[in-house]
Amino acid sequence: MKNVSKVFYITLVLVIIAVVFGGLFPAQFENITTNIQEFVATKFGWYYMLLMSATVILSIFIAISPYGKIRLGKDNSKPDFSTPTWIAMLFSAGMGIGLVFYGAAEPLSHYLTDAPSSEVGSNAAFKEGLTSAYFHWGLHVWAMYGMIALALAYFQFRKEEPGLISATLKPLFGEKMNGPWGVLIDVLAVFATVFGVATSLGFGAVQINGGLSHLFGMKIGFGSQFIIIAVVTLLFLASAWSGLSKGIKYLSNTNMVLAVILLITVLIVGPTLLILNMYTETIGLYMQDLIKMSFRTAPLEGDNRGWLDGWTIFYWAWWISWAPFVGMFIARVSRGRTIRSFMTGVLIVPTLFVTIWYAVFGTTAGDVQNHGTELTQYSTELVLFNMFDQLPISMILSVIAILLIASFFVTSADSATFVLGMQSTKGSLIPPNNVKIIWGIAQSAVALILLYVGGLTAIQNTIISAALPFSFVMILMIISLFKALNKELR
């Protein structure tokens, strides 16, 4: 195949080995990955907290510094995409399915079953449930994505290096990045992407299955999820075949339209005044407590370290494991923007949307619960649909939610096949369709096998473990970026 690198073959073999092992020995696979995940969370929690907080500080600094005027491309280049389309594309790739999956369930869980520091079920826990969700999905995540994407976009479009993680480290290690060390770094990035996206696809299939079961009585189980993944795979392969400027662009815009329609409709038919009041107060609490939450490590007995490991550390590792994929995709669609406009857009717009989303869905879920409907009895994928049952036009809301999940599903997989194609064809900006199709089928196969063996937990643990070595690469990327930027401004 044209331009295919060693990274393609090495990673494909590693993915096959992991899937076969997970399929044949699911209990052992889950046990091993759980032990690794627990070790990482316990021993490196402080490190993840410092690292994610550092990316926030650095991203704000770089946006307001003299570096901000540097353009990601030649000095006279213009952005490839309009600002609304650009925002839709980076957001759809960034966290799509997760917002629908956890939008109602996470704040409800913090409120009623697992509050970080307040008394479970109290008014304080209700508010803390929202601020915790803002924290886990907001500024820190997008600052980290922004720094990785900025390094990739700067070297790719300003310095005309190939679109590879390894290429961003050349200011530190020179031509060594063209050899085995560079291959190792790119293999790690591709491996993390395949398993990170496969997990998301598994979540998407489970929630679509739950929604169709809730509405139309579709049987919940592997058979139904197999059909769902097969249909969606055909859709995203067709989209991937059509290219970045057609399939992903149109799907991303569709995602944003559907998401905004669902958001506004729930705001109107839900407890509107309570949502507006809760958002106003909790966004203030989020900003007020941001520094405290950013550096919390729960070091002493009674500090609820279990909550921190199970939620914040889990999320920080999860987002870092997604960074190669999301960072590369955001970089690819950001050519022509200045560093200041790039970083401002990446930090502010998704964070604002995420906080509004969680305020609307989390407040509505809490209100439904407080009025006598026991939502906590349902599994995560069914909380949203059972919440809708207590609102007007519940059928319409559920149908829109299922369409949105399917659309996010297709866009995430589509974006990932594009990025995987780039990474395994020496950074090609237009990866061959046959390479994208192979990666698309591989992602779906991984998701199916994981669902078959009940291994979503194991694979979550796997990517959390993979985040640790990539976090060191991330630090090197940021150092390398600042070294190159300083040289340019001299």
Residue 338's beta-bridge partner residues? 71
In a domain, 38, yes or no: yes
Q: What is the pLDDT of residue 323?
A: 87
Structure tokens at 461: 């643990």
- The type of residue at 35 is N
In a domain, 406, yes or no: yes
201-221: string of b/e by CB count within 10 Å (b at 16+)?
bbbbbbbbbbbbbbeeebebe
Task: Give the HSE-up count for residue 288: Cα atoms under 13 Å, Cβ half-sphere.
Answer: 8
Residue 332's beta-bridge partner residues? none
Nearby residues of 384 by Cβ (< 8 Å), 6 or more positions away: 100, 103, 104, 105, 207, 211, 361, 401
The total number of structural domains in the chain stands at 1
In a domain, 188, yes or no: yes
- Taking the alpha carbons at both ends of the chain, their separation in whole angstroms is 43
Q: What is the pLDDT of residue 295?
A: 96
| CATH number of the domain encompassing residue 314 | 1.20.1740
CA 90/CA 446 separation, integer angstroms: 24
Domain that holds residue 166: 6-489
Q: What is the pLDDT of residue 246?
A: 59
CA 151/CA 484 separation, integer angstroms: 10
Assign 3-class secondary structure to the chain: CCCCCHHHHHHHHHHHHHHHHHHHCHHHHHHHHHHHHHHHHHHHHHHHHHHHHHHHHHHHHHHHCHHHHCECCCCCCCCCCCHHHHHHHHHHHHHHHHHHHHCCHHHHHHHHCCCCCCCCCCHHHHHHHHHHHHHHHCHHHHHHHHHHHHHHHHHHHHCCCCCCCHHHHHHHHHHHHHCHHHHHHHHHHHHHHHHHHHHHHHHHHHHHHHHHHHHHCCCCCHHHHHHHHHHHHHHHHHHHHHCHHHHHHHHHHHHHHHHHHHHHHHHHHCCHHHHHHHHHHHHHHHHHHHHHHHCCCCCCCCCCHHHHHHHHHHHHHHHHHHHHHHHHHHHHCCCCCEHHHHHHHHHHHHHHHHHHHHHHHHHHHHHHHHCCCCHHHCCHHHHHHHHHCCCCCHHHHHHHHHHHHHHHHHHHHHHHHHHHHHHCCCCCCCCCHHHHHHHHHHHHHHHHHHHHCCCHHHHHHHHHHHHHHHHHHHHHHHHHHHHHHHHHHC
CA 169/CA 226 separation, integer angstroms: 41
In a domain, 79, yes or no: yes
In a domain, 114, yes or no: yes
Q: What is the pLDDT of residue 1?
A: 58
Distance of CA 466 to the CA centre of its chain: 15
In a domain, 374, yes or no: yes
In this prediction, the residues of the chain whose per-residue pLDDT falls under 70 are 1-2, 91-96, 240-249, 454-460, 463
Distances, alpha carbon 16 to alpha carbons 159, 162, 198, 207, 449, in Å: 35, 27, 13, 26, 11
For residues 379 and 207, the answer to whether their CB atoms sit within 8 Å is no
In a domain, 1, yes or no: no
Q: What is the pLDDT of residue 456?
A: 61
pTM over 0.85, yes/no: yes
In a domain, 204, yes or no: yes
CA 29/CA 19 separation, integer angstroms: 10
CA 139/CA 278 separation, integer angstroms: 19
- Compute φ and ψ for 300, nearest 5 degrees: -110, 165
